[in-house]
Amino acid sequence: MKIFISFVRKEFHHIIRDKRTMLILLGMPIVQILLFGFAITTEVNNVNVVVLDHSKDDITRKIKERIAASDYFNIIGEVDNQENINSVLLKGDANLVIAFSNDFASNLKKGGDASIQLIADGTEPNQASMEVNYISGILNSVVSEGSNNIDKITIIPQVKMLYNPQLKSAYNFVPGVMGMILMLICAMMTSIAIVREREIGTMEILLVSPLKPIIIIISKMIPYCVLSILNLISILLLSVYVLDVPIAGNIFLLFSVSLIFIILALSLGLLISTLVDTQMAAMLASGMGLMMPVIILSGLMFPIESMPKILQYISAIIPARWYIEAIKKIMIQGVEFQYVIKEIFILSIMTISLILVSLKKFKTKLN
Amino acid sequence: MIRFLLEKEFKQIFRNKFIPKMLIMMPLMIMFVLPWAANQEVKDIRLGVVNYDNREISNRLIDKITSSDYFILVDDYLSAREANDAVERGDIDMILEIPNNFEKEMIRSHNVKVMIATNSVNGTKGVLGTSYLSSIINDYSNDITINHGIIAGKSNINLSVKYLFNVLMDYKVFMIPALIVMLLTMLSGFLPALNIVSEKEVGTIEQINVSPINRLTFVLSKLIPYWVIGIVIMSVCLIVAALVYNLLPAGNVFTIYLFSILYILVVSGLGIVLSNYSDTMQQAMFVMFFFVMILMLMSGLYTPISGMPDWARYITIVNPLKYYIEVMRSVYLKGSTFFDLIPQFYALVVFALFFNCWAVISYKKRN
Amino acid sequence: MNDEDIVIHTDKLRKQFGNFVAVEDISFDVKKGEIFGFLGANGAGKTTAMRMLCGLSYPTSGIATVAGFDVSKHQEEVKKNIGYMSQKFSLYDDLKVWENIRLFGGIYGMKSAKIKTKTDEILNELGLENERNKFVGELPLGWKQKLSFSISIFHEPKVVFLDEPTGGVDPVTRRHFWELIYKAVSRGITIFVTTHYMDEAEYCNRVSIMVDGKIKALDSPSNLKQEFGASSMEQVFFRLAREAERKGD
């Protein structure tokens, strides 16, 4: 036991000595959480709008005022003819043009042709749809205030946004960042650390010591495990106190699931280390083979449901996907244990099989 | 002299165990997997219905909703509670609840309510799903109004919407030009930097340092192969975009090449700067991972810059990726000409000068 | 002694990192065609001194000229006239034998045709004709070192710096290696060599021994032995190194 502890201590020294890497390992989650929390948002904000209005009457003025008053839009100017609309959008000065028909108000009162044309820059389809959606909401409210037509049948949808009423992007990103950071530190770092020791040749010295090889490996993993738990805590603290993303569910459940995932990632790191011989290869293998799929296919950035079926199947074998899903449910939706049984079950099966495979590979590698 | 060095670099690149695989895998991922995965398109929303009314009008509404492309009816639930459970389990994304007496109330007062509850952990999906559902409901109420001979007539605005540049609102069209940016950044910026660091780590760079080769020749011999590879692979990607996705630049392809060459100068300068400050591959990898993360997230690649808070938008001003992505998207989708893109051109020229000067200054042949 | 015969000249050459004086005011001359042994324990400062002479490191103060050029002002001229080989690295493992030769020939501005004929000569001399198309990484260490020595003098430099060139190889190979060195000397190339092996120190014309950044002794091996009343260079070295305050790393 004493030897084991001194081994663990030695590993800690190794990690702490490389200041730059330490700084990045501890700083990366913080920077990412802050970026994802504040800067990266799919919300519609500050959209520049240009208006074409020959009518210039009460109603168009009212509509323009409402649009300018909303957080979503800035009216940056007017154009006076149809031809200029295209060039405004082409230059990218504005993303949306609102064109009122002539004599808008009087036509509206007469029931004639009061039309509005929205010309949107559709480059980013979701943004465009949301912009149009918000504008038509504003138009409807202005018009319905002006009319008292009770004959018309209206079905009023009462909308309730569950779990994320303010529609903050952070709610979606925080669990993803947790999954990515844990994967990065546990799998990538451990695999590189083990391979480096082998590359330098010091592994041989360790292996002839009285400790069992597996104990040596475990002592290598413990510092990274501690480091990732530290990161986990800092991510949670930041998201609760800085991003105002509450932990809606049970925090013990959250930590237990994270622990399963950490063990999974560590054994994945061990597995990679047995498959490659050089640090460079370990880095590329974990970079291309782990980080890319985690970033792309785990639901961290892109919704899995929108992917083609084949990619959905592939994403099912990516552990981070199940972890992120479980964390979303526990942390954001605040569900009980019974609703994440599926995710926990899948993660446990993956963990057990990875441990078995990596141990087997590790043993054959030793011989 | 440089001829011999170039010969060496090309041989080393193609003999390396990983680099050639990466040179093939990376474009494949970026052109064939990412456009499908990086899809924020909101469709096939899983809807659960609780219909307490269960009469003709409400059933027809549900038929109308499920016949649209956006929604899949997963199940009918007997109670709101049951439906809520389904959301917690993750079986459905949205609940439409039609109250008892829906039909009666509609006939009586022409004004009825329905409830929509949306899982909005993913804000974009929440907003768009809700707005699609609302607009179907709205259409339906107009249908009934007309069918029942109640003339809405008065106070109706005729709203028409036109999307420019990405007429089919295809998310892939939006992503592909920007993904090429990512590819060039990795190929021409970071690979040569890693290469230089690895010579440093192995020590072979000393042998070069005691020779009469000047620093510019050496750095150029490292960069040129990756410039060539970058341009070749980019050309392949442009062809793939045309053949597979039927995506041709609306603007001039020479504009794309001009900016790409300029951009390559920018990122390779940045790469050299990074390599000058790192001593080991591990360090270099982490620093790069860190920077790539920030540069990509702050570039408007996935999320709009307009949605960011002011401080974040100021940061994007010093992000070269942002300008090149703007260029690629404008040329591809809007057909912008060189003259439309002069601000971006100047910005990239400044970056190229800045990073390359910094690279030359920080490159030390001796200390 | 004629000035033209002096290939390396240092006068109070000093290198300081903060408060730590790695090399303290060393002065010596090396003559043309001489084998100059540069000894010292780990951390004595010999690598730092050598790096200054090769133009890899700026002197803090003092003067050093190599092949007639000042190392702090004309290091690019210096580099044209020197060869360099170290035990740690030298050649590219992922290039073939002939490709390594071609690369370094090219770096020193030789023409392709000349490189070709000289490559044949070298491979012939080393008996490596059959290994021409092998990757350097596949060669045994001893062959690698002989090859990298031949490459370091491929462009006929005035002086070649050898940094522990025979580390880790067996005595027989070391013997062969020194035969190559003598051949180079006979062509007029000056040898500046650091080594850990005291028997090798006996092969040198003159030897300097560095302790704690200073040169403590400089003479021919036989004179040194006489001066210290020792029977071998090994004893001379230990007697001097015992006084060292710095610990090796």
- Taking only the tens place, the pLDDT of each residue in C115-162 is 999 899 889 988 888 888 999 888 888 888 889 899 888 888 999 999
- Is A209:A3 a contact under the CB 8 Å cutoff? yes
B77 SS3 class: strand
A356-360, B188-192, C11-15: which has the highest mean pLDDT? C11-15
pLDDT (0 to 100) of residue A307: 81
Question: In the 3-class helix/strand/coil scheme, how is A236-256 assigned residue by residue?
Answer: HHHHHHCCCCCCCCCHHHHHH
pLDDT (0 to 100) of residue A258: 92
| Burial (Cβ within 10 Å: 0-12, 13-18, ≥19) of residue A31 | middle
| Average pLDDT of the residues in B214-242 | 88
Query: A271 phi and psi, to 5 degrees?
Result: -60, -45
DSSP class of residue A288 equals I
Torsion over CA: B276, B280, B285, B286 (sign)? negative
B157 domain residue, yes or no? no
- What's the angle, vertex CA A244, arms to CA A162 and CA A71, rounded to 5? 75
The verdict on a CB contact (< 8 Å) between B212 and C107 is yes
- Is C200:C166 a contact under the CB 8 Å cutoff? yes
- pLDDT, greater one: C214 or B157: C214
Tokens 């030769």 belong to which residue? C101
Mean pLDDT of the residues in chain A: 81
Res B85 pLDDT > 50: yes
CA distance B225 to chain C (A): 16
Res B257 pLDDT > 90: yes
Torsion over CA: C193, C196, C200, C205 (sign)? positive
Q: How many whole angstroms from its chain centre is CA C230?
A: 26
Residues of B in contact with A151 (CB under 8 A): 110, 145, 150-152
| Average pLDDT of the residues in A245-271 | 89
- What's the angle, vertex CA A234, arms to CA A231 and CA A240, rounded to 5? 140
A143-200 pLDDT per residue, tens: 766 655 556 666 777 777 777 777 777 777 888 888 888 888 888 888 888 887 777 7
Quote the radius of gyration of chain C (alpha carbons, Å).
18
DSSP class of residue C27 equals E
pLDDT (0 to 100) of residue B348: 94
pLDDT (0 to 100) of residue B32: 87
Residues of B in contact with C106 (CB under 8 A): 1, 3-5, 7
The verdict on a CB contact (< 8 Å) between C103 and B16 is no
- CA-CA distance, A170 to A239, in Å (whole number)? 8
Torsion over CA: C47, C53, C55, C61 (sign)? positive
Residues B52, B81 within the same domain: yes
The verdict on a CB contact (< 8 Å) between B124 and A163 is no
Distances (CA, A) of B350 to A270, B227, B262, B269: 45, 19, 10, 12
CB proximity A328 to B under 8 Å: yes
The verdict on a CB contact (< 8 Å) between B202 and C54 is no
Neighbouring chains of A at 3+ CB pairs under 8 Å are B
- Is C23:C213 a contact under the CB 8 Å cutoff? yes
Domain ranges of chain C: 3-81+157-241, 93-154
A38-89 pLDDT per residue, tens: 777 777 778 888 888 887 888 788 888 888 888 888 888 888 888 888 888 8
Distances (CA, A) of C53 to B276, B367, C30, C46: 23, 13, 12, 11
C219 strand-pairing partners: C207
CA distance B196 to chain C (A): 14
Of B77, B96, A299, nearest to B85 by C-alpha is B77
CA distance B365 to chain C (A): 7
Res C201 pLDDT > 70: yes
Q: Which of C71, C107, C115, C149 to mutate to test the interface with B (most CBs of B within 10 A)?
A: C107
B163 domain residue, yes or no? no
Query: C157 phi and psi, to 5 degrees?
Result: -75, 165
pLDDT (0 to 100) of residue A151: 61
Strands laid side by side in the B71-77 sheet:
A154-162, B111-119, B94-98, B45-51, B71-77
- Is A117:A123 a contact under the CB 8 Å cutoff? no
- Is A146:A271 a contact under the CB 8 Å cutoff? no
The verdict on a CB contact (< 8 Å) between B114 and A158 is yes
Of C245, C244, C227, nearest to C236 by C-alpha is C227
CB atoms within 10 A of CB C186: 9
| Residues ≥6 apart with Cβ < 8 Å to B330 | A92, B251, B336, B340, B341
The verdict on a CB contact (< 8 Å) between A43 and B130 is no
Q: Which two tokens stand for residue A137?
A: 């909401």
Residues of B in contact with A86 (CB under 8 A): 164
Amino acid at site A349: I
- C3-81+157-241: CATH topology is Rossmann fold (3.40.50)
CATH code for the domain in which residue B83 is found: 3.40.1710.10
pLDDT (0 to 100) of residue A284: 75
Amino acid at site A304: I
Res B329 pLDDT > 50: yes
CB proximity B139 to A under 8 Å: no
CB proximity B106 to A under 8 Å: yes
A76-127 pLDDT per residue, tens: 888 888 888 888 887 778 888 888 888 877 777 776 667 888 888 888 888 8
Res A261 pLDDT > 70: yes
Neighbouring chains of B at 3+ CB pairs under 8 Å are A, C
- Is A211:A4 a contact under the CB 8 Å cutoff? yes
Question: In the 3-class helix/strand/coil scheme, how is A41-74 assigned residue by residue?
Answer: CCCCCCEEEEEECCCCCHHHHHHHHHHHHCCCEE
CA distance A262 to chain B (A): 20
- CA-CA distance, B228 to B218, in Å (whole number)? 16
- CA-CA distance, C214 to C157, in Å (whole number)? 28
CB atoms within 10 A of CB A131: 24
- CA-CA distance, B77 to B83, in Å (whole number)? 6
pLDDT (0 to 100) of residue B152: 46
Confidence band of B290 (pLDDT split at 50, 70, 90): confident
DSSP class of residue C41 equals -
- CA-CA distance, C191 to A191, in Å (whole number)? 45
ipTM of the complex: 0.78
Confidence band of B150 (pLDDT split at 50, 70, 90): low
B71 SS3 class: strand
Residues B216, B349 within the same domain: yes
CB proximity A159 to B under 8 Å: yes
| Average pLDDT of the residues in C205-217 | 88
Q: How many whole angstroms from its chain centre is CA B69?
A: 24
List where CATH 3.40.1710.10 sits in chain A. 47-146
- pLDDT, greater one: C99 or A169: C99
Residues of A in contact with B302 (CB under 8 A): 40, 301
Count the residues in chain B: 367
Structural domain of B280: 2-38+168-362
pLDDT (0 to 100) of residue B153: 45
Amino acid at site A86: N
Strands B94-98, B111-119: pairing is antiparallel
- Closest in C80, C94, C102 to B12, CB measured: C94
The verdict on a CB contact (< 8 Å) between C55 and B210 is yes
- CA-CA distance, B125 to B121, in Å (whole number)? 8
Q: How many CA atoms lie within 13 A of A360 on its CB side?
A: 6
Confidence band of B154 (pLDDT split at 50, 70, 90): very low
- Is C67:C44 a contact under the CB 8 Å cutoff? no
Q: Which two tokens stand for residue C18?
A: 């903060």
A145 SS3 class: helix
C206 SS3 class: strand
- Closest in A39, A95, A122 to B309, CB measured: A39
| Average pLDDT of the residues in A15-44 | 79
pLDDT (0 to 100) of residue B126: 83
- CA-CA distance, C146 to C165, in Å (whole number)? 9
- What's the angle, vertex CA C205, arms to CA C200 and CA C211, rounded to 5? 70
Domain count, chain B: 2
Count the residues in chain C: 249
Chains C and B touch each other (3 or more Cβ pairs < 8 A): yes
| Average pLDDT of the residues in C178-193 | 91
- pLDDT, greater one: A289 or B182: B182
Amino acid at site A131: E
Q: Which two tokens stand for residue A124?
A: 């980013």
CA distance C38 to chain B (A): 19
Res A348 pLDDT > 90: yes
Distances (CA, A) of B93 to A308, B21, B70, B88: 18, 40, 12, 9
- What class is the A47-146 domain? alpha beta
Confidence band of C249 (pLDDT split at 50, 70, 90): very low
C28-69 pLDDT per residue, tens: 999 998 999 988 877 788 888 888 898 888 889 999 999 889
Residues B249, B105 within the same domain: no
B348 domain residue, yes or no? yes
Would you list which residues of chain C are within 8 Å, Cβ to Cβ, of chain B? 51, 54-58, 75-76, 79-80, 82, 84, 86, 88-92, 94-95, 99, 102-109, 161
A106-120, B61-75, B147-161: which has the highest mean pLDDT? B61-75
Q: How many whole angstroms from its chain centre is CA A37?
A: 10
pTM: predicted TM-score of the whole model, two decimal places:
0.79
Query: C57 phi and psi, to 5 degrees?
Result: -145, 140
* Backbone angle region of C109, left / alpha / beta, with phi > 0 → left and psi within -120 to 50 → alpha: left
Tokens 């560095």 belong to which residue? C210
Res C247 pLDDT > 60: no
C164-181 pLDDT per residue, tens: 888 778 888 888 889 999
